[in-house]
């Protein structure tokens, strides 16, 4: 059964559409398809993986999930660093389990790398601390340009994409080449699904999206975002909780409040920064998903959004979707 993924920028209503689809694609819904069990949602938002990060990530509260089973929510402690490789393994296991129950999986999230890791062929080579230490020492002794030249000889495509000043990525690329015996670029994600899937992208006029973002931040502030972050951050971070790890502390809404408590801004300035950074995030997400020709774009403001989405799912089920690049592409946010 084809996996349905709802992707696109933040604040476009992905979670609501995913819930609507999960209900409609379940037995007895508007479009049961081949399903013999209720559809289930699999999260692909990197920060909704964290327990306690609810208000700032716009996580759907349990009472509002309409009885739909959700996976990959609240699976990490905020002090832990997220791992895309770990997410790939565990979320793919969830997809396997959903399929084994005869149900449809509805993936939802705006973290592009996580969506790609879940749906596409994407390998995560291991690490070798000794190899990395040796390469880092060489970069220090011989200069990073020497290592970049070596990378250009071994993998020209990687050298072109990794600038000569990015020592960390040069070292990582050479480490992967030595460990795997293959070019670094051979391990990069390919636009090739590991199982049948269709991606529904929610597009939105830029001005309308900016207004949605502003309204979302208003709701988060009213919903207790400041208290939530204070309850998670450690005393050293300005809070009363156990502490946010490096990954969680970078989340929009959390990073700005931590900076405020370090004395870098006022609370009002932090709030304005959350709005600005959320808008910046939305444009970045649109750039990421907009480069994928497989995404079927829908108008987030359409009064027939669910019907539009179901029509795409039906076409995908029947193998009637146009080939990537054959149809019009909505890119309103990218302009």
Query: Does 146 lie in the same domain as 22?
Result: no
Query: Does 161 lie in the same domain as 66?
Result: no
Place of tokens 């994600």: 189
Per-residue model confidence as pLDDT tens digits over 322-334: 877 554 445 545 4
Query: Does 216 lie in the same domain as 160?
Result: no
Which residue ranges make up the annotated binding site for ATP?
A: 8-15
pLDDT value, residue 269: 98
pLDDT value, residue 334: 44
The pLDDT of residue 227 is above 60: yes
pLDDT value, residue 294: 97
Query: Does 56 lie in the same domain as 196?
Result: yes
Query: Does 59 lie in the same domain as 198?
Result: yes
Query: Does 22 lie in the same domain as 168?
Result: no
The pLDDT of residue 144 is above 60: yes
Place of tokens 């990794």: 162
Which residue ranges make up the annotated binding site for substrate?
A: 10-15
pLDDT value, residue 188: 74
Per-residue model confidence as pLDDT tens digits over 283-325: 999 999 999 999 999 999 999 999 999 999 999 999 998 877 5
- Please identify, among 245, 267, 285, the residue that sits at the C-terminal boundary of a domain: 285
Query: Does 164 lie in the same domain as 86?
Result: no
Spell out where 226-311 has E strands.
296-299
Which residue ranges make up the annotated binding site?
A: 8-15
User: Residue 164's domain is classified under what CATH number?
Assistant: 1.10.20.140
- Which residue range forms the structural domain that includes residue 58? 3-122+191-205+288-334
Query: Does 312 lie in the same domain as 177?
Result: no
User: Residue 292's domain is classified under what CATH number?
Assistant: 3.40.50.300
Query: Does 199 lie in the same domain as 86?
Result: yes
Angle between helices 144-154 and 129-142 (to 10 degrees): 120
Per-residue model confidence as pLDDT tens digits over 21-43: 999 999 977 555 567 899 999 99
pLDDT value, residue 127: 85
From 38, 124, 126, 127, select the one nearest 87 (Cα to Cα).
124
Most distant pair of Cα atoms in the chain: their distance: 67
Least confident of 47-61, 77-91, 212-226, 319-333: 319-333
Query: Does 234 lie in the same domain as 199?
Result: no
**With bands split at pLDDT 50, 70 and 90, how would you rate the model's confidence at 192?**
very high
The pLDDT of residue 281 is above 70: yes
Structure tokens at 60: 């759907």
Per-residue model confidence as pLDDT tens digits over 238-267: 999 999 999 999 999 999 999 999 999 999
pLDDT value, residue 335: 40
Q: How far is CA 209 from the centre of its chain?
A: 18
From 253, 34, 209, 14, select the one nearest 115 (Cα to Cα).
14
The pLDDT of residue 58 is above 50: yes
Query: Does 271 lie in the same domain as 249?
Result: yes
Q: What is the DSSP letter of 26?
A: S
Q: What percent of the chain has pLDDT over 70?
A: 95
Query: Does 41 lie in the same domain as 133?
Result: no
Number of structural domains (the chain) is 3
| Positive or negative torsion for Cα 4, 8, 10, 13 | negative
Q: What is the mean pLDDT of the chain?
A: 93
User: Residue 238's domain is classified under what CATH number?
Assistant: 1.10.287.890
């Amino acid at each position: 059964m084809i996996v349905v993924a709802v992707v696109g920028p933040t604040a476009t209503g992905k979670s609501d559409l995913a819930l609507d689809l999960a209900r409609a694609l379940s037995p007895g819904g508007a479009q049961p398809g081949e399903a013999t069990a209720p559809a289930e949602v699999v999260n692909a938002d990197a920060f909704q993986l964290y327990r306690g990060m609810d208000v700032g990530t716009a996580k759907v509260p349990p009472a509002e999930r309409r009885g739909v089973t959700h996976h990959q929510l609240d699976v990490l402690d905020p002090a832990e660093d997220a791992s895309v490789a770990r997410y790939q393994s565990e979320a793919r296991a969830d997809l396997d389990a959903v399929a084994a129950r005869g149900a449809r999986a509805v993936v939802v999230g705006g973290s592009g790398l996580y969506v790609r890791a879940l749906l596409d062929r994407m390998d995560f080579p291991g690490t070798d601390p000794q190899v990395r230490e040796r390469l880092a020492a060489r970069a220090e002794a011989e200069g990073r340009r020497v290592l970049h030249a070596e990378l250009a000889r071994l993998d020209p495509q990687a050298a072109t994409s990794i600038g000569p000043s990015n020592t960390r990525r040069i070292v990582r690329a050479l480490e992967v080449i030595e460990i795997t015996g293959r070019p670094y670029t051979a391990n990069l994600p390919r636009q090739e699904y590991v199982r049948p899937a269709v991606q529904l992208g929610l597009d939105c006029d830029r001005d309308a999206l900016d207004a949605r973002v502003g309204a979302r931040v208003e709701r988060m502030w009213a919903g207790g975002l400041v208290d939530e972050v204070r309850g998670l951050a450690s005393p050293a971070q300005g809070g009363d909780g156990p502490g946010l790890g490096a990954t969680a502390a970078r989340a929009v809404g959390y990073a700005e409040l931590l900076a405020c408590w370090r004395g870098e801004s006022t609370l009002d300035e932090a709030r304005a920064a959350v709005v600005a950074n959320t808008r910046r995030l939305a444009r970045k997400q649109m750039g990421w998903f907009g480069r994928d020709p497989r995404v079927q774009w829908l108008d987030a403001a359409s009064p027939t959004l669910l019907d539009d989405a179901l029509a795409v799912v039906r076409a995908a089920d029947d193998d009637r979707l146009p080939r990537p690049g054959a149809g019009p592409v909505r890119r309103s946010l990218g302009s």
